Structure 1
Amino acid sequence: MDTLRTLLNLVWLVLHGWMLALAYALAGLVACLLVVTIPFGIAAFRLAGFVVWPFGRTTVRAPGAGVASALGNLLWFLVAGWWLALVHVVAGIAFCLTVIGIPFGVASFKLAAVGLFPLGKRVVETAPPRDWMHAGSTVAYATVR
Structure 2
Amino acid sequence: MRTLLNVIWLVFAGIWLAMGYVLAGIVCCVLIITIPFGIASFRIAAYALWPFGRTVVRDPDAGALSAIGNVIWFVVAGIWLAIGHLLTSIPLFLSIIGIPLGLANLKLIPVSLLPLGARIVDTGDVEAFYRR
TM-score normalised by length of structure 1:
0.81
The Cα offsets for residues 91-136 of structure 1, whole Å up to 9 and x where unpaired, read as: 21111112221111111111022111111011100129xxxxxxxx
Aligned partners of 2:4, 2:72: CA distance in 1, in Å?
36
Contact persistence 1:62–1:120 (CA under 8 A)? yes
Aligned equivalent of 1:136: none
1:32 alignment partner, SS class: helix
Q: Which has the higher helix share?
A: 2
Aligned equivalent of 2:130: none
2:14 to 5, 12, 17: 17
Offset at residue 83 of structure 1 (A): 2.4
The Cα offsets for residues 57-111 of structure 1, whole Å up to 9 and x where unpaired, read as: 0111113112211110111112222222222111211111122211111111110
Unpaired runs of at least 5, structure 1: 129-145
Identity of aligned residues (%): 56
CA RMSD of aligned residues (A): 1.4
Aligned equivalent of 2:60: 63
2:57 alignment partner, SS class: strand
Aligned equivalent of 1:109: 106
The number of residues matched between the two structures is 125
Unpaired runs of at least 5, structure 2: 126-132
- Note if 1:52 corresponds to 2:49: yes
Show structure 1 runs of 4+ deviating over 2 A: none
TM-score normalised by length of structure 2:
0.88
Larger Rg: 1
Offset at residue 51 of structure 1 (A): 0.4
